[in-house]
Amino acid sequence: MRYAVLVTGPAGAGKTTFTASFINHLRLSKRTVHLVNLDPAASPTSFEFEPAIDIKDLVSLEDVMGELEYGPNGGLVYCFEYLLQNMDWLEEELGEYDNDYLIFDCPGQIELYTHHPFLPTLVRNLTRMGMRVCASYLIESQFMEDRYKFFAGVLSAMSAMVNLEIPWINIMSKMDLVTVNKEDEPGSARNGIRRRKDIARYLDPDPLLLATRRGQEGNVSNPRFHALNQAIVQLIEDHPLVSFLPLDLTSPDSLETVISHIDYTMQYGEDEEPKEPHDLDEGDFQDLE
Ligand SMILES: Nc1nc2c(ncn2[C@@H]2O[C@H](COP(=O)(O)OP(=O)(O)OP(=O)(O)O)[C@@H](O)[C@H]2O)c(=O)[nH]1
Ligand SMILES: [Mg+2]
């Protein structure tokens, strides 16, 4: 059986870094894992592990920009169109990996997750090839510093989930950057220090975070936004699709918990009993009310 994990999410969310830690962890557990680089703009120095399959062998952003005079964004879209037309190239490359775990490091272009047909087509192809596919979607913990940015992240995750319709894990990355203040100090969130209770409200998004503080942060005093916020609150309340697993790469337990959830959604190791994911209560940031 082959397993494919797509590592997705907006620019700079920590996809490439997570991918490397993921591979490292699986290799230490003596599992066969390979990196597939799908980012035509990735620099060769950004990888800790050599990709087994690299989209840049088919098409690179640098060449597209140089030869066809595209800008960086148009160039990326061109690269994906090109890959879409050359799926047989990818299929051929993937053919060599028979019984393996493949981790796909995806680019950070948000268009790719909201409306571009590239990822749905890729998923259809992988599924047709008999792979079990799941996606992880990373947003970084700094998104919790600004509730509007955070809900934009939640909506982007929802939109990507609906677009792909495959088993899905949302991850709050870079949790090492969040310092937790146990005291209920007023204003602590504004200084980048959060209470554990607050963090729990973000990991399992509490739409009231968006509704109750209207106008208090200065940038949404226009009443028209109130109606919009209410509508978004309702959407998130009615469709609670998104919750986040915290990922702190400085903690091996945290990484292991996230990986156990990914394994579980794909029922990794079909001949074994399905494994329960690690209990989230072991993590640092849950259920602290
Ligand atoms: N503190 C901290 N920094 C991180 C972590 N993960 C990534 N970073 C930093 O965040 C930046 C972006 O990380 P990448 O892994 O390249 O992010 P990416 O999502 O692959 O970025 P793109 O491919 O450009 O979309 C780098 O400077 C990393 O060093 C983390 O867990 N903790
Ligand atoms: Mg990257």
- Going from the Cα of 173 to the center of ligand 1, the distance in angstroms, rounded, reads 9
pLDDT band at 285 (very low <50, low <70, confident <90, very high): low
Grouping H, G, I as helix, E, B as strand and the rest as coil, residue 97 is coil
Do residue 103 and residue 218 come from a single domain? no
For the stretch 254-267, pLDDT in tens is 999 999 999 999 98
Helices (H), 86-117: 87-95, 111-114
Q: Is the CB of 11 under 6 A from ligand 1?
A: yes
Q: What tens digit of pLDDT does each residue of 34-84 get?
A: 999 999 999 878 888 999 999 999 999 999 999 999 998 889 999 999 999
- Residues 191 and 152 grouped into a single domain: yes
**Are 116 and 231 within one domain?**
no
pLDDT exceeds 50 at position 31: yes
**Is 14 a pocket residue for ligand 1 (Cβ < 6 Å)?**
yes
Gap from CA of 233 to ligand 1 centroid (Å): 30
Residue 289 in any domain: the answer is no
- Compute the C-alpha angle 134/142/288, nearest 5°: 80
Domains of the chain: total = 2
Contacts of 112 (CB under 8 A, 6+ apart): 8, 80, 106, 118, 119
Distance 126 CA to ligand 2 centre (A): 21
Ligand 1 pocket: which of 15, 16, 17 to mutate (most atoms within 8 A of CB): 17
DSSP letter assigned to residue 146: S
Reported as a single tens digit per residue, the pLDDT across 234-253 is 888 887 788 999 999 999 99
200 and 210 assigned to the same domain: no
Please list the residues that pair with 132 across neighbouring strands. 3
Q: Is the model's pLDDT at 161 over the cut of 70? A: yes
**Gap from CA of 84 to ligand 2 centroid (Å):** 20
Facing residues of 180 across strands? 194
Considering only CA atoms, which of 55, 83, 85, 60 is closest in space to residue 70? 60
**Residue 228 covered by a domain:** yes
At 212 the pLDDT is: 62
Domain match, 59 and 141 both: yes
**In angstroms, rounded to a whole number, what is the distance separating the alpha carbons of residues 86 and 268?**
29
Domain boundaries, position 216: 206-239
